Structure 1
Amino acid sequence: MLTFAAGPSKVYESVPKYLQDAYSEGILSANHRSDQFMRLYQEAESLMKEKLHMPDDYKLLFTSSATENWEIISQSIVESASFHIYSGSFGAKWIKFAQHINPKSAGQKIAANEEIDVPELSIPEDYDLIAITQNETSNASQVPMAKLEEIRDKFPEKLIAVDTTSSMAGIELKFELADFWYASVQKCFGLPAGLGLLILSPSAIEKAESKGESGRYNSLSFMLENARGYQTHYTPNVLGIYLLNRVLKDMPEIQHFDQALRERMKKLEDCIIGTKSLRLLVDNATTRSTTVLGVAGLEETIKKVKSAALDQGFQLGSGYGPLKPTSFRIANFPAITDQEMDGLMDFLVAY
């Protein structure tokens, strides 16, 4: 069964070889305080800089998942409250989680087709962090880098945290536009679930050190203390980090993936537009995701298409939350080949 779900999604076909190599190289029993692991960590950070263009002065941390980073940022960085800009379910979950730690946290919800009106955006001074879901997996919408740049220019004094769970390693991110970037590896990285990434700017590191929040399992000050020596504060997913290294070594620099995925998404969009009973979930091309396509239709049509797809060996991602009955999602992740996507489009065009 070939899955086009938006995560966990298809893993790279080279993963079985990576797994065998990990066993042969002793990675599966590697001590996370060993020189072997520290070299692995340092190499992962170097590869993130080389392949994803992470700035040299930014720091890579490992977490259990993208979701864990909500808590880390809220407890270890935010002094008063965070201001969230979101359009879908995952952004809504982030703000609710933040409010458990900092009750004054608030935000602004926008429609999936709506662009952030930065000139009209007003964020009071006591909100010291802006939280943005760059790629909202639930409704297949996105915030383009150009819009992030507008926000950074308007609020230079505030820290910015960005959720790129389903876009990091798929599109080129301008890391200098924000202070926190996070993701999980089961989407565009083409790996099994179980590893989260958290990337910090120098300003983010300075803020964590000045606040000095400590005493928790995932206190950022504790994590950074260990990371300076390329170690982790807990026994990490060493295999996941090894697999990440192998994927990064084998992938081209991110601008090539970015271009290829944009071109392929255009073909996929045109396919859906050409059908009789399906339509794009997000009408606005500017806010439509590059890595996840939402497809909408009547409930009976969506049910029929998903069932027929399974018969053909294609697993389509279900719609999320209230969108589940009337939509499905298609992952446009790098691990999915052009031939596989062509096969899916050949199937969908009949509807």
Structure 2
Amino acid sequence: MTDEPALKPERPFFSSGPTAKHKGWSASNLKTKSLGRSHRSSLGKSRLKHAIDLSKELLGVPEDYLVGIMPASDTGALECAMWTMLRPDRPATVAAWESFGNVWIQDAVKQLKLPKLTTLDADYGEIPDLASIPQDNDVVFTWNGTTSGAKIPDTDWLAEGRAGVTINDATSAVFAMEMDWAKLDATTYSWQKVMGSEAQHGMLILSPKAIERIESYDPEWPLPKLFRLKKGGRINEGIFRGETINTPSMLATEDYIDALEWAQGLGGRAAMFERADANAKIVTDWIEATPWLRNMVADPAKRTNTGVCFVFQGDWYESLSGEEQAEVPKRIVKLLEDRDVGYDFNGYRDAPPSLRIWCGGTVEQEDLKRLLPWIEWAYEQVRNG
């Protein structure tokens, strides 16, 4: 049997959320003057606004769009957009091809109970026929499937100036893929994904068209305080200046600012895109060269550059029962976690038995290169019992 590889990753953090901190991160580097202060103080609001302004600058968000900090991570931001923008009297389509997109389908079907709703779904690794969505329809979709590794290849299916509003869950895509802002009305993400920051806070980015929809529409269903974006019938612009709806963690805010400033120092979003692309190429090339693996996404144009997902194949694996197949990735992950080689790179619990390696810009290429031989070693241990 093959000996254990000689080198371990220096930073064995490959989780798809919360993702790895950037290299050189230290809690001692965080600014702490805002800690213990009110988030309504001039200092607190200035730090929250700094996080908003840096996000807008780094992501290339148009000047007339609003960017705000929301409670409850990407989930809170996305559901806020759905609850405040989707209308029972308008046709809507929710498209999903992995676990989180299916949550938005359930929200639309069971919670909002939209009477003119169409749902589109596809198996893990596939994407539904997005071109079939009428341009009059409001649409909710996930730019990048966090649990399947399948992303949209383009936005050609969204027409310029379309009648419907477009709600985009971009939580594992921003800072790794360019957003087509002209075609997006509400875009959401969380700090814990591509930037490797702390959980619990989400971001909501609104186009002028989204603002107009919110201001002109009062939903029939109750709106929790955490979803109330209007004040006196108009958009509450204070939310988008750092006057958050509820109390944020200033420590998490400072951690996010630290990540943004690190990315800015590298060269901004272009540098982050390049890092994710290079990282993903290391893993996808290895998958292609490894006969007992295959990428969960068959079409290269639809493969993510963040959470790369792959499944097992071959005579030995296919001879196993379903329960035995499910144990293969679990045993590999345990072998490597026990040796502090790689943490949390197992596939998502609802996905087919698989492994998922995060390749976003906070991960170093050398750590990925060191991880892969260890996976080969662990697979051999599992196969040989």
Common topology (TM > 0.5): yes
**1:66 counterpart = 2:74:** yes
CA 14–34 in structure 1, closer or farther in 2 if over 3 Å, else same: farther
Give the match for residue 108 of structure 1.
120
**1:338 counterpart = 2:365:** yes
Q: Which has the larger radius of gyration?
A: 2
**Partners of 2:240 and 2:286 in 1: CA distance:** 49
Give the match for residue 273 of structure 1.
288
Give the match for residue 206 of structure 1.
212
> Would you say the 8 A contact 2:273–2:361 is kept in 1?
no
**1:308 counterpart = 2:316:** no
Tell me which amino acid in the other structure corresponds to 2:144.
N
2:158 aligned counterpart, secondary structure: helix
1:140-179 deviation digits (Å, cap 9, x = unpaired): 11113x2x2x222177111101111112222222222201
1:194-244 deviation digits (Å, cap 9, x = unpaired): 211111111111111111458631212257343255312221222222222
Give the match for residue 166 of structure 2.
160
From 301, 315, 325, give the equivalent of 1:286.
Answer: 301
1:206 aligned counterpart, secondary structure: helix
**Partners of 2:133 and 2:239 in 1: CA distance:** 36
CA 55–96 in structure 1, closer or farther in 2 if over 3 Å, else same: same
> Would you say the 8 A contact 2:68–2:242 is kept in 1?
no
Give the match for residue 7 of structure 1.
17
Give the match for residue 142 of structure 2.
133
**1:318 counterpart = 2:327:** no
Tell me which amino acid in the other structure corresponds to 1:317.
F
CA 212–229 in structure 1, closer or farther in 2 if over 3 Å, else same: farther
Q: How big is the shift at 1:118?
A: 4.8
> Would you say the 8 A contact 1:189–1:244 is kept in 2?
yes
Superposed, 1:89-104 pairs within 5 Å as 89-99=99-109, 100-104=111-115
Q: How big is the shift at 1:7?
A: 0.8
**Partners of 2:30 and 2:78 in 1: CA distance:** 34
> Would you say the 8 A contact 2:144–2:151 is kept in 1?
yes
CA 276–122 in structure 1, closer or farther in 2 if over 3 Å, else same: closer
**Partners of 1:173 and 1:31 in 2: CA distance:** 34
> Would you say the 8 A contact 1:70–1:97 is kept in 2?
no
The answer to which of 240-249 and 92-101 deviates more is: 240-249
CA 317–106 in structure 1, closer or farther in 2 if over 3 Å, else same: farther
> Would you say the 8 A contact 1:70–1:98 is kept in 2?
no
CA 75–305 in structure 1, closer or farther in 2 if over 3 Å, else same: same
TM-score by length of 1: 0.88
> Would you say the 8 A contact 2:282–2:368 is kept in 1?
no
User: What residue ranges of structure 1 are gaps of 5+ in the alignment?
Assistant: none
Q: How big is the shift at 1:116?
A: 5.0
> Would you say the 8 A contact 2:69–2:242 is kept in 1?
no
Give the match for residue 199 of structure 2.
193
> Would you say the 8 A contact 1:161–1:181 is kept in 2?
yes
**Partners of 1:82 and 1:102 in 2: CA distance:** 11
User: What residue ranges of structure 2 are gaps of 5+ in the alignment?
Assistant: 1-10, 318-324, 380-385
Sequence identity percentage: 23
| RMSD between aligned residues | 2.4
1:315 aligned counterpart, secondary structure: coil
Give the match for residue 35 of structure 1.
42
TM-score by length of 2: 0.81
Tell me which amino acid in the other structure corresponds to 2:62.
P
**Partners of 2:82 and 2:346 in 1: CA distance:** 30
